[in-house]
Structure 1
Amino acid sequence: MRTGTIARSIAVAGAALLAVSACGGSSDDNSSSGSSGSSGEKQTNVYGTDGNMGNALGEDFTKEGSLAGMSGTTPLTNLNDDFKKRLLTIDPALKDYNYAGESYDAVMITALAAQMAGTNDANTFKAFVNGVTVGGDKCSDFKSCLDIINGGGNPDLDGITGPLSFTDPGEPAQASFGLLHFGADNKIDDAKTKFVLAGDEANATTNEGPNGGKAATPNATGNPLIIGTLLPQTGNLAFLGPPEIAGVKLAIQDINAAGGVLGQPVQLVEGDSGDTSTDTATQTVDRLLQANVNAIIGAASSGVSQTVIDRITGAGVLEFSPANTSDIFTTYNDNGLYFRTAPPDLLQAQALSDLISGDGNTSVGILALNDPYGTGLADNTEKDLIAAGLSQGDIKKIIYDPQAANYDSEVQQMVDFAPDAIVVIGFEESSKIIQGLNAQGIGPQR
C-alpha cells in the first residue's frame, strides 16, 4: 500500500514540475546544456540538492562567480515574512531558513497529538499524530487548534509548510520544493527562487486516529510534555542547525504562550546530533532519554537517524525529523514512533530530474556521498532521468567517501566523461568537489 501511495505521488509530482519546466523554470538562469560561451568552450551545468544548496556553501568561495552557474532543489516552503521575522527574534544571526518551517511544524504536531491523547506518553499519543494533519476543522496555529480540541472537535492543522496531510507511514503526501540558484556573489539569489509542489493530498491517510480524530478527553491536563532536540550544532550539516533549532524554539514559545500542553509549559532539552563520523548522536540520545524526554525532534541527517532510530523508538520515545529524506524510513520498523515533516527523496529526485532534463541536458554525471541520503537520492534521480529519456550510458554515477582527503579521482572521472550536467549530492564536503570541478573547467564558475 505504501509503495502505491508513493508511486501515485510521483506521477502527480512529475506533471506539476514539468509544467514549471515548460514555463522556463530555470532556462533564464542557467546556460543551456552544451552551449558555448565567449571562449567557445562547452559550459557544464552543475546542480546541487538540499545538503549543499544554502548560503553556507558560498562562504568557502572567495572568487566572485565561483558558484554563479549552480542551481538545484531543496524541500522548501515559501515562508512568509512574518514567520522569518519571528525566527530572527530567536536567532538574529540566521542566514538561511532551510527546514525551519518543518521543525516548527514537527513540534506543533507533536504537541497537539499529546493534548488530544491526554498524556505525554508517546506510545499513546503516536496514534493521534497523523490525524492532526488530515480531516476535521482547519486551523493554522496552536491556539486555534487547541480551541477545536477542547470544544470536542477534530483539528486539521495547516502548518507553516502547508497542508501537511500525512500518509499512513507518517510523512507528507504533498510537499513544496524550491528551485534555487546561486548568484555572482556566491549566495542564493532569492529573486530567482521558484516553488513547485510535488505529491498529492489525495494520498493522505484516511485513518484519523482514535475517536475519529477527536480528543480522548477535552481540556485534558497532566504531566508536562518534554521535547528534546537532536539537531546539528557540529559536523557536516551544522549549517542546517540554526534554522531548525530556531524553528523548534519558536514553536515552543508559541505553544506556551497559548497555554502549553496538558495545562503545563512544554519543556525543551537541547542536543547536538553531530554527523555520522562521530558518536555524538548516540551520546546525545542517551542524555535525552535520561532526561525523560517524550519526543525528539531530529535528526537532520538520514544517516544519523539510521544510527539512533532503534535506540529512540525502542525506548518508547517519539522521533520526529524535520529533514530526513531517505526512502528507507517509509517502511522502517519503528514501532509507529517515527514521523517526518520532510518529504521522501522519491519526490525530490523527480524535482531534480525534471530540472535537469528541462534544461536540455542529455548526459549527466552524479557525484553522491556514501550514506542513505546520498545513495538513495542518486539512485532515484538516475531512474527518473532514464524515465525522462536518457539511456544508462548517458549517466555516470560515482559514490564517494565524504571523509576522503580529496576528490581528485572523482573529479577526473567527470572530466573524462564530459557530461552536459553534473549533480553534486553532498554536504559540506561539496565545496571541495566544486572547487575541483572549477579548477578543471567543468564547474559552475562563470
Structure 2
Amino acid sequence: MRTGTTARSIAVTGAALLAISACGGGSEDEGGDTGADSGEKQVNIYGTDGNMGNALGEDFSEEGSLAGMRGTTPLTDLSSDFVDRLKEVDPELQDLNYAGETYDAIVLAALAAQAAGTNQATAFAPYVNGLTFGGEACTDFAACAEILAGGGNVDYDGASGPLSFAEAGEPAEASFGILQFGDDNALDDDATEFVLAGDEANAATDEGPDPVPTATGGAPLVVGTLLPLTGNLAFLGPPEVAGAKLAIQDINEAGGVFGQPVQLVEGDSGDASTDTATQTVDRLLQSGVNVIVGAASSGVSLTVIDAITQAGVMQISPANTSDQFTTYNDNGLYFRTAPPDTLQARALADLIIEDGNNTVGILALNDPYGTGLAENTLQNLVDAGLSEDDIQSITYDPQAANFDSEVQQMVDFNPDAIVVIGFEESSRILEGLNSNGVGPQR
C-alpha cells in the first residue's frame, strides 16, 4: 500500500484482506494456491465498477463460476438507515452501486440553486464546488439549507462521502468498495471492505460566491435524469434511480427549493451503441430542465455533454469515471460525484499488489472508460514496482462476436492476475477464461 494514496477503513470490517483460494493467493513464488491437484497455476481475477454487480452472477448457472473474483467500485459504507430508505423506494433493490453518488448529485444541485437564489444553471453552477468543503459541515439538505438561510457557508458531507471537490468539479478523495463474489455467484456482502484513494488536500480553495438571500416564489428547480434503464449498464439503473427519487423526496419534505417542490423528469441513457441518450437529452431540454443527472457511462456522456452544457444546463454525473472530463471544455457546467478513474486505478493497483501478483493481464473494453482505467491501472502497477514487461494490456471491441483471441492471449501470457474492465459482455469473457482454466472458477 502506498502511504497517502490508499488507506484501509478498519472501522468497516475490522478484518484483514481475506485469503481466498480463487482470488488473492498470489503467484506460486509468493506461496499462493497453485491448484496442485490439477497442475494449474492459480490465477486471480479482478473486476471493476462496470461489472462488479450481482447482475454479472445471473449469467452463470454453475455454482462457483465467479467464486473469489474481487474488484473495486466507487462505494462508501452506506448507513443502514440510508439503505433502508433506498429499499423503501425500491423494495427489489439488490446492488447499491452509485446510489449515494446519485443522491448527492441532486442534493448538491438543489443546494447550489438555493444558494444562488435562482434555477438558472449558469448562475448556480459556480456555487457547487464551494458547497463541498470549507464551511459548516452538514449531512442532509434540510440542515444545509438552514445554514444557507442563516447566511453561512456549507460543507456538504453526503451519502457517498465528504466529496471535497477539486477545481474540475470532481471528488479529490473517494471511498472505494472492494467487493467479492461468493460460491453462489452473488456478491458476498460480509467480505466487502473499503479503502480511500486520493487526498482531500487537493480540493479547490475558492469557496465561490456568497449565498444570496433566500429566494421564494421563483421558478421551480427541474431535475432531469439520464440513467441506464436499458443497455449494458442497466444493472446500475435501479440503485441510481432509487438514489434520485430518495433525494427528491428528502428535499421536498424539507420545503423544496425556493419554497417550492423540486420537479423530477426521468429519462433513459441507453448505452453508447444507441442514440437513446441523444433522444432523451433533447426531450429533457425541451421540458425545461435546469440540471441533468447522468449519464452513468463515460462514453454516453461524451456524446451529449456539449448539447447539455451549451444549452446552459448543468450536467452532474454520479458514475462517470473517465479522466477526459477533468479537463473537458464544459463551460463550467459539468460536475461529477463519482471519482475519476485515476483514483480507482490506485485502489485497484494497490489491491493487486497486496495480493502478491507479479504479472498482470488487463482486458479492457475499447471506450473512454475502459481504456482510461486500464492505462491508469497499468501506470500505478509500474509505479508500485512491476515492469512493463510484467503487464499485458489488451483492448477489445465489446460488440465482437466472441473474445476467443483475447482470452487466448491471456492463456499464452500466463499471468498471476487478470483484470477484466468491461460491462455486460464481461460474463462471456469470464466464461472463456474459465473454460481455459484461467478464470475464477476452481
Give the TM bin, normalised by the shorter chain.
Answer: over 0.9
With the length of structure 1 as denominator, give the TM-score of the two structures.
0.94
Q: In structure 2, what is the equivalent of residue 160 of structure 1?
A: 159
Partner secondary structure for residue 5 of structure 2: helix
User: Would you say the 8 A contact 2:214–2:258 is kept in 1?
Assistant: no
- After superposition, the Cα gap between the structure-2 partners of 1:19 and 1:146, relative to the gap in structure 1 and judged at 3 Å, is closer
Q: In structure 1, what is the equivalent of residue 26 of structure 2?
A: 33
Q: In structure 2, what is the equivalent of residue 222 of structure 1?
A: 218
Letter in 2 for 1:144: A
Q: In structure 2, what is the equivalent of residue 101 of structure 1?
A: 100
Structure 1 residue 250 corresponds to structure 2 residue 246: yes
Q: In structure 2, what is the equivalent of residue 200 of structure 1?
A: 199
Taking the aligned partners of 1:429 and 1:179, their CA distance within structure 2 comes to 21
With the length of structure 2 as denominator, give the TM-score of the two structures.
0.95
- After superposition, the Cα gap between the structure-2 partners of 1:428 and 1:166, relative to the gap in structure 1 and judged at 3 Å, is same
Deviation at 1:11, TM superposition (A): 6.8
Q: In structure 1, what is the equivalent of residue 85 of structure 2?
A: 86
Q: In structure 2, what is the equivalent of residue 291 of structure 1?
A: 287
Taking the aligned partners of 1:173 and 1:31, their CA distance within structure 2 comes to 29
Taking the aligned partners of 1:428 and 1:276, their CA distance within structure 2 comes to 13
Aligned length: 431
Partner secondary structure for residue 365 of structure 1: strand
Deviation at 1:206, TM superposition (A): 1.1
Deviation at 1:77, TM superposition (A): 0.7
Q: In structure 1, what is the equivalent of residue 30 of structure 2?
A: none
Q: In structure 2, what is the equivalent of residue 121 of structure 1?
A: 120
Structure 1 residue 396 corresponds to structure 2 residue 392: yes
Deviation at 1:26, TM superposition (A): 4.3
Letter in 2 for 1:79: L
Letter in 2 for 1:33: G
Partner secondary structure for residue 128 of structure 2: helix
Gaps of at least 5 residues in structure 1 are: 1-9
- Counterpart selection for 2:278 from 254, 277, 282: 282
Gaps of at least 5 residues in structure 2 are: 28-32
Taking the aligned partners of 1:241 and 1:41, their CA distance within structure 2 comes to 39
- After superposition, the Cα gap between the structure-2 partners of 1:311 and 1:173, relative to the gap in structure 1 and judged at 3 Å, is same
Can you list the C-alpha shifts for 1:326-369, whole angstroms capped at 9, x where unaligned?
A: 00000100000000000000111011111111111111110000
Q: In structure 1, what is the equivalent of residue 437 of structure 2?
A: 441
Deviation at 1:33, TM superposition (A): 2.1
Can you list the C-alpha shifts for 1:265-304, whole angstroms capped at 9, x where unaligned?
A: 0001100000000000000000000001000000000000
Deviation at 1:53, TM superposition (A): 0.5
Letter in 1 for 2:379: K
Taking the aligned partners of 2:215 and 2:52, their CA distance within structure 1 comes to 44
- Counterpart selection for 2:414 from 413, 418, 425: 418
Q: In structure 2, what is the equivalent of residue 110 of structure 1?
A: 109
User: Would you say the 8 A contact 1:172–1:343 is kept in 2?
Assistant: yes
* Large movers: runs of 4+ above 4 Å: 17-20
- Counterpart selection for 1:406 from 379, 402, 407: 402
Partner secondary structure for residue 40 of structure 1: coil
Letter in 1 for 2:19: S
- Counterpart selection for 2:371 from 363, 372, 375: 375
Taking the aligned partners of 1:194 and 1:221, their CA distance within structure 2 comes to 46
Deviation at 1:69, TM superposition (A): 2.4
- After superposition, the Cα gap between the structure-2 partners of 1:322 and 1:310, relative to the gap in structure 1 and judged at 3 Å, is same
- After superposition, the Cα gap between the structure-2 partners of 1:364 and 1:28, relative to the gap in structure 1 and judged at 3 Å, is same
Write the mapping of 1:356-375 to structure 2, written as runs, cut at 5 A.
Answer: 356-375=352-371
Deviation at 1:131, TM superposition (A): 1.1
Taking the aligned partners of 1:299 and 1:136, their CA distance within structure 2 comes to 29
Taking the aligned partners of 1:221 and 1:201, their CA distance within structure 2 comes to 37
Taking the aligned partners of 1:261 and 1:24, their CA distance within structure 2 comes to 45
Can you list the C-alpha shifts for 1:173-219, whole angstroms capped at 9, x where unaligned?
A: 110001111100001111111001111211111111112xxx11135
Structure 1 residue 309 corresponds to structure 2 residue 314: no
Deviation at 1:392, TM superposition (A): 1.2
User: Would you say the 8 A contact 2:9–2:193 is kept in 1?
Assistant: no
Taking the aligned partners of 2:394 and 2:203, their CA distance within structure 1 comes to 35
Partner secondary structure for residue 125 of structure 1: helix
Write the mapping of 1:141-152 to structure 2, written as runs, cut at 5 A.
Answer: 141-152=140-151
Taking the aligned partners of 2:41 and 2:26, their CA distance within structure 1 comes to 8
Deviation at 1:156, TM superposition (A): 1.3
Deviation at 1:151, TM superposition (A): 1.2
Q: In structure 1, what is the equivalent of residue 76 of structure 2?
A: 77
